[in-house]
Structure 1
Amino acid sequence: MKRVLAIILLVLVALYGQAISPTMAQSGDVTITKIRIEGAQRIDPATVLSYSSLSAGDTVSRSSLNRAVGRLFATNLFEDVSIGLDGTVVVIEVLENPIINRISIEGNDVLPDEQLLEFIDIKPRRVFTEKVALDTKALLMEIYRQFGRYAAVIEPKIIKLPDRRVDLVFEIDEGPLIKISTIKFIGNDAFSDRALKNVIGSREAKWYIPFGTNDKYDANRLSLDTQKLRQFYLQNGFANIDIVRSTGELLADRSGFVLTFQIREGGEYPVKSVTVNSEIEGVDTDQLLEISTIELDELYDVRRLEETLSLMTNKLGEFGYAFVDLTPDIQVNNEDTTLDIIINVGAARKNYVEAININGNDRTLDSVIRRRFELVEGDSFNQLKLTLSERNVRNLGYFSKVSVDVVPGSSGEQSVVEMNVEETATGSFQLGFGYSTFDKASLTFGINEANFLGTGRGARASISLSDKTTNFRAGITEPYLFDRNLVGSVDIFQDSIEYTSVELEKKGFDFGLGFSAADDYRHRIGYTLADTETKTTSTTALSESGDEGAKLISEVSYTLTKDKRDSRIDPRRGYLLQLRESFAGLGGDSTYLKTVIRGQYFKPLYFNAFVIGLDGEAGYIDGLGENVTRSNRFILGGRKVRGFESGGIGPRDAGDNSAVGGNQYYVASTNLTSDFGFDKDLGMRWTAFVDAGSVWGTDYPNNVIKPDDDSLRSSFGYGILWDTVIGPMSFVWAYPIDKESHDEAKVFQFKFGGRF
């Protein structure tokens, strides 16, 4: 034992002697008269002295000088430090760490230098240490793992240069791309491996899917897959599901990863009962139970429980309770393999809105957002009004994210509404391309600014060109006219379409004044003044027997809209009802009464995985004793009945086969939209649809191609909607099912948009 202690003592003395001079080791405390710095080249000696925390006049001991050595090493500026004592003069001798002269990467092909250098922290002219090289190597290894390169080998090489400089070179062997070769499940009796593989995001690598991203091993995705599996079982009656472990193991030959999920399923449990216990006096628990979506005697589904808790929280919020704790207690009955759900409502007090704070609106004026609130400071808290306020702000389209939090105020009865928004580009442009049997190639370009200088004002312009048609529109919108809840808009337009022997022109302006009323009702009063002209270029053109010539249209209109959609931009649930009445005859050369009704309905299916949309529209125009001219009739096709050219459906001029429109029309559409099958990060959705409709009835029945009746036209189609970083794109293919021989088809449409 004595021998061991002696050896330890000798080692300590040897180490200590490197930092402290023999003079110091053999003497007691010393009062410093002077400090001399040696070896400092780039670093100012005063800086070295400052880091040491030593000063002339200090009395130092062995331990205090040792601590000074430690402080200098801790700066990472020095490769070596020693402190000596020359009488009462302290000598600090340092060897500075090298400076990085250049950083280079060699051997990398998959990831370019620029991308790798963006991730690492070190830069030229920084101090170099071995730890810097090792930390950077570890970071680069992690980057390659994220790209599936688990076999990558990285070696840092240090090239010493004069003047204590080094070049740092990372030599990389990227190795092969290692993907997931096998996904295994253990303990899954109720569901097959194939069913569970469809639940998780990770995928086994397949040779016929060369560009997949989910077949690369990702530890974060593995954790998310574990949550998805657990959620899947909870949605299908397995209240006691336990994902015992989930692992990702690299095969010994580094040819692939094996993912293993060990599952303890437990049993399936139907719901026997649902009860509500409330600590809030006066709350009708039966009223809360009425909005529950949990179905008795059906298998337990955690989604229905979560939906019920959300509905109950909102209902209590409508009663003025901003902060309510709803705690579900799930009691399993092993005797009959059922479960009881007890929802406990914690004690709470009614709240009032103390303040409304809006955060993140760097561009949009505060007043633009506040005027969309249904609540003001001082109101009783109401969750329904708060939800409507959030929807109103989201519907502005100025923000990529809108969220609302309610936090406690200065007292127990006060609450503060915190709205957080994230600005997005409100300027946009659209570029569209299409092909039809009538127009041949067509090009559309539009530009729009929805939030000019953050004021909420809108400006727009668009033009559509083809071999036969030209359409131009431009307009502005003031959303809060005269500082009131009035929307004012002015638009100008000019349209022309040329058939074989007939040319139609229409130009004018439209003024509108709109306002909102209670319960999602919107009203709009509009006035349109338009100059129309029909020209014939051939004596064989019948031109509708009197439709030729110029006419002035003076039209006043009223539109009533009830909008219960959850979003005007991307609706997923709710409905819209609209009625528009237009009367022409206040001056001008045309007289008519036009009625158009429209309805939309949206509903999410299979727990929001799909959205089905139904759209119907119908219209009728009466000349009030006069013949309705071609320019005032309804035109069908294009966006309303995809698969047909705009104006490609309905009666046609017997002389030149041009579209003449009709006095009556109807159209119906069913759309199914989902991102199912796409990686959610891609921002892609698919859509499938069926359209149907017809337009018929003219006041010149002898001059049109038969049949001039309500014969059904229909089409089906599909499309890809892609929200890219540079703007939305859409590719739509539509094919007529029912058509007449004189109808004109339009199969493909492409649109591209950008933001600014």
Structure 2
Amino acid sequence: MKVIEPFTIEGTSTFFLDVEGIENLLVSVQKVSRDIGFKLFERTKIAEITVAGNKRIEVDAIERYINTKPGDAYVPSRLSSDLKSIYSMGYFEDIRIESKDTPFGKAITFYVQEKPTIRRIEFKGNNIYDDKEIMDALNIKSGSILNIFSIQKNLIRIEDLYKEKNYHNVTADYEVKELENNQGDLLFLVQEGEKVKIEKIAFEGNVVYTDKELKKQMKTNEKGFWSWLTNSGELEKEVLNQDTVKLRSFYQNNGFIEAKIAEPIVEYQEDMISIKIKIDEGSKFKVGKVSVAGDLLFPKIELMENLKITRNEFYNREVVRNDILTLSDLYSDEGYAYADIYPRISKDVENLEVNIDYVIKRGKKVYFESIIITGNNKTRDKVIRRELRVYEQEIFSGTRLKRGIRNLYRLEFFEDVRVDTVEGSTDDQILLKINVIEKPTGNFMFGGGYSSVDYGYLTAAISQNNLFGRGQVLELKTTFSMKSSTYSLSFTEPYLFDKSISAGFDIYNQNRDFNDYDKSSLGGRLRLGTVLREYTRLFWSYSYDVSDISNIDNDVSDLIKDSRGTNVTSATTVSLKYDSRDRRFNPRDGHFDTVSVEYAGLGGDVGFTKYLAESGWYYPLFLSTVGMLHGKGGYVREHSNAFLPDYDRFYLG
């Protein structure tokens, strides 16, 4: 192929086209056409593009940022754009372009100078956070490219980390120490400054409630005299946001259904923080008409009796919410797990009243298709299932399910119990998924102390509250002191033959030096118990005790003298116990009541009837503390023609 310039015969150029295969014809024609265009318009072609100077960054990675390709026209502005594109990678300190003429066109070389890598990262001036805590907040590590832009972003991260703890005057800077082999050490310089606390919380727009009353609703507070020792006056953004929700709830729980709480305005100064919260209280509304509507499973009057909100009292959003939960529980106990209940509220602005309609959509009645238990690596499935109070193919019951989960926590086998319900194979069945996180149930205790009775003493106990994963309890305990020693072995099977019957035994050997005599006892007890109703159990036990009384002082009472020698006590005890505590150990809520009658005189030397009553109440207080009220009393009556030893009597103290 020849191309001839129209004004001169000498300007002839020849182009050759050599194609292998018809499929490559189009590409080859396009290439020749481009070469002809370069010739006609006197444009220079780029023959080759190379990259030089790189040591760590692969050539392929750099070439992906170069849009100009060999065979393209030589356009300096496009090469300049390619240079900027490579620079945006953030890996290079300097980049330059060199071009060289060749018989085939321009040879382009991108010379790159890589930035140094970070050999080590160090910190100076940090006391509030240790090096690891700051390092975890950064997104650069040793071995990464020393990128100034990245370092500056991480300076902001350090300052933000300190501001989380109210060090708002913190400043962070950096230094780079250049090393051989294109490496550098990065040093972050931190000036922590002083902690800044809340000096003032002010409200704007509040008329009905004073600033003091509103501050009581908030966890965020102003610094006080003891703020240097406590956390008072510290600002936590998340807590402050929660406080605005609390303020809104406070107003809506006191009739101000239209109350609006603006986002707090936080102002930072060099030595203090001030917070301003704007409030639009609106008007205070009373409750007008209250009714229920929709799918009523129960008589309307019965549903209304379960509601706590009443006419002519001030509107209270919390009471309305609890009413919804009450109605939901009623419907869920009838199998309507997905009942939709919502309050339809209409405001009468003229009379300042709100009318409330609880609208009920019951949905479909559902059943437990299956119960899937996971996470129990040690505890057997049946130990968990027997506490649940719900069963497969049974109608759904929210109350019994909640009670079952409470029972699982009472076992003290699990750190956490997670419950989830998902749709079953049909729309009227659900799968109950229970995932438990087990905790150690074996305990070894060793300790000691001092008392006015025993003086110094040591105690040791080993127990397993979930023996072999069957829920059985085994305990071995011993106590030594200067005046006594005790050995005991106890075993309990909570579900004998997989029935709601508990059984167990106790064996003990006790030696005690009282002020007036010595007592040595050997005995045991057999125990049975059964469930009467939820939280209520009936217990029966038989005990046999052989006690030897010796070393009696001369000036003791005749009662003690009469007990000299061996005394055999054969007794049976019946007790009734109610226990609704949320935990057996360290409970936070609930109470227990126990009454028992012990009859001694089934053979042996000792005869009496002993009555005992005990009660304990637990109340959650504040700061994770629990209040407890506990009382215990008893009465013992000696049988005629029988003996009541001194150690079975009641004494003050």
The aligned residue for residue 49 of structure 1 is 60
The aligned residue for residue 356 of structure 1 is 371
By how many angstroms is 1:61 displaced?
5.2
Choose which of 121, 128, 135 in structure 2 pairs with 1:117: 135
Choose which of 260, 265, 268 in structure 1 pairs with 2:276: 260
By how many angstroms is 1:157 displaced?
1.8
- Paired letter, 2:207: D
The aligned residue for residue 544 of structure 2 is 529
Partner SS state of residue 410, structure 1: coil
Contact 1:322-1:415 at 8 Å conserved across structures: no
Contact 1:601-1:615 at 8 Å conserved across structures: no
Contact 2:333-2:397 at 8 Å conserved across structures: yes
The aligned residue for residue 419 of structure 2 is 404
Q: C-alpha distance in 2, partners of 1:80/1:460?
A: 75
Partner SS state of residue 306, structure 1: helix
Cα displacement string for residues 316-351 of structure 1 (whole angstroms, at most 9, x for unaligned residues)? 001110101111122222222222221111241101
By how many angstroms is 1:256 displaced?
0.7
Partner SS state of residue 501, structure 1: coil
Q: C-alpha distance in 2, partners of 1:172/1:594?
A: 73
Identity rate, percent: 25
Q: C-alpha distance in 2, partners of 1:67/1:623?
A: 110
By how many angstroms is 1:590 displaced?
3.2
Contact 2:164-2:236 at 8 Å conserved across structures: yes
Contact 1:77-1:96 at 8 Å conserved across structures: yes
2:303 counterpart of 1:285: no
Contact 1:597-1:619 at 8 Å conserved across structures: no
Choose which of 411, 414, 417 in structure 1 pairs with 2:432: 417
Q: CA separation of 1:627/1:453 partners in 2, compared to 1, >3 Å: closer, same or farther?
A: closer
Q: C-alpha distance in 2, partners of 1:574/1:285?
A: 32
1:691-730 paired onto structure 2 within 5 Å: none
Contact 1:560-1:578 at 8 Å conserved across structures: yes
Unaligned runs of 5+ in 1: 1-24, 635-648, 651-742, 744-756
The range that moved more, 128-137 or 373-382, is 128-137
Contact 1:405-1:417 at 8 Å conserved across structures: yes
The aligned residue for residue 339 of structure 1 is 354
The range that moved more, 171-180 or 396-405, is 396-405
Q: CA separation of 1:426/1:216 partners in 2, compared to 1, >3 Å: closer, same or farther?
A: farther
Choose which of 577, 599, 623 in structure 2 pairs with 1:561: 577
Q: C-alpha distance in 2, partners of 1:60/1:527?
A: 104
1:416-495 paired onto structure 2 within 5 Å: 416-427=431-442, 437-439=452-454, 448-452=463-467, 454-463=469-478, 467-495=482-510
- Paired letter, 1:41: K
Contact 2:552-2:561 at 8 Å conserved across structures: no
Q: C-alpha distance in 2, partners of 1:394/1:101?
A: 52
The range that moved more, 373-382 or 441-450, is 441-450
Q: CA separation of 1:315/1:90 partners in 2, compared to 1, >3 Å: closer, same or farther?
A: farther
By how many angstroms is 1:546 displaced?
0.8
Cα displacement string for residues 48-105 of structure 1 (whole angstroms, at most 9, x for unaligned residues)? 42674699xx977589999998997777655566788886988665544432211111
- Paired letter, 1:135: K
Q: CA separation of 1:249/1:388 partners in 2, compared to 1, >3 Å: closer, same or farther?
A: same
Contact 2:267-2:274 at 8 Å conserved across structures: yes
Q: CA separation of 1:375/1:257 partners in 2, compared to 1, >3 Å: closer, same or farther?
A: same
By how many angstroms is 1:159 displaced?
1.7
Cα displacement string for residues 226-254 of structure 1 (whole angstroms, at most 9, x for unaligned residues)? 11111222222222211123122112xx1
Q: CA separation of 1:68/1:517 partners in 2, compared to 1, >3 Å: closer, same or farther?
A: farther
- Paired letter, 2:135: L
Q: C-alpha distance in 1, partners of 2:88/2:472?
A: 58
1:223-242 paired onto structure 2 within 5 Å: 223-242=241-260
Cα displacement string for residues 633-660 of structure 1 (whole angstroms, at most 9, x for unaligned residues)? 34xxxxxxxxxxxxxx43xxxxxxxxxx
The aligned residue for residue 305 of structure 1 is 320
The aligned residue for residue 292 of structure 2 is 276
Q: C-alpha distance in 2, partners of 1:259/1:344?
A: 41
The range that moved more, 616-625 or 394-403, is 616-625
1:184-203 paired onto structure 2 within 5 Å: 184-203=202-221
2:342 counterpart of 1:327: yes
- Paired letter, 1:244: A
Q: C-alpha distance in 2, partners of 1:416/1:274?
A: 36
The range that moved more, 150-159 or 468-477, is 468-477
2:530 counterpart of 1:512: no
The aligned residue for residue 23 of structure 2 is none
Choose which of 209, 232, 248 in structure 1 pairs with 2:266: 248
1:552-591 paired onto structure 2 within 5 Å: 552-565=568-581, 568-569=584-585, 576-586=592-602, 588-591=604-607
Contact 1:495-1:505 at 8 Å conserved across structures: yes
By how many angstroms is 1:295 displaced?
3.4
By how many angstroms is 1:474 displaced?
4.3
By how many angstroms is 1:417 displaced?
2.1
The range that moved more, 621-630 or 333-342, is 621-630
The range that moved more, 115-124 or 266-275, is 115-124
- Paired letter, 1:548: R
Contact 1:322-1:406 at 8 Å conserved across structures: no
Partner SS state of residue 545, structure 1: helix
Q: C-alpha distance in 2, partners of 1:559/1:75?
A: 80
The aligned residue for residue 385 of structure 1 is 400
Choose which of 109, 124, 142 in structure 1 pairs with 2:160: 142
By how many angstroms is 1:181 displaced?
0.7
By how many angstroms is 1:447 displaced?
5.4
Which TM-score applies when normalising by structure 2? 0.80
Partner SS state of residue 372, structure 1: helix
1:664-679 paired onto structure 2 within 5 Å: none
Contact 1:488-1:514 at 8 Å conserved across structures: yes
Contact 2:528-2:540 at 8 Å conserved across structures: yes
- Paired letter, 2:243: D
- Paired letter, 1:155: D
Q: CA separation of 1:556/1:50 partners in 2, compared to 1, >3 Å: closer, same or farther?
A: farther
The range that moved more, 88-97 or 62-71, is 62-71
Which TM-score applies when normalising by structure 1? 0.70
Q: CA separation of 1:613/1:400 partners in 2, compared to 1, >3 Å: closer, same or farther?
A: farther
Contact 2:612-2:632 at 8 Å conserved across structures: no
Q: C-alpha distance in 1, partners of 2:160/2:478?
A: 50
The range that moved more, 547-556 or 188-197, is 547-556
Contact 2:616-2:628 at 8 Å conserved across structures: no
Q: C-alpha distance in 2, partners of 1:451/1:92?
A: 72
Question: RMSD of aligned C-alpha atoms?
Answer: 3.9
Structure scoring higher RCO (CA < 8 A, sep ≥ 6) equals 1
2:132 counterpart of 1:132: no
Choose which of 155, 168, 178 in structure 1 pairs with 2:173: 155
Q: CA separation of 1:261/1:464 partners in 2, compared to 1, >3 Å: closer, same or farther?
A: farther
Q: C-alpha distance in 2, partners of 1:448/1:595?
A: 30
Contact 2:371-2:391 at 8 Å conserved across structures: yes
By how many angstroms is 1:450 displaced?
3.0
Q: C-alpha distance in 2, partners of 1:68/1:353?
A: 65
Partner SS state of residue 156, structure 1: strand
Choose which of 220, 224, 232 in structure 1 pairs with 2:238: 220
Choose which of 211, 215, 227 in structure 1 pairs with 2:229: 211
Contact 1:201-1:214 at 8 Å conserved across structures: no
The aligned residue for residue 36 of structure 2 is none
Q: C-alpha distance in 1, partners of 2:489/2:647?
A: 20
Q: C-alpha distance in 2, partners of 1:428/1:90?
A: 76
Q: C-alpha distance in 1, partners of 2:630/2:532?
A: 25
By how many angstroms is 1:372 displaced?
1.5
- Paired letter, 1:291: N
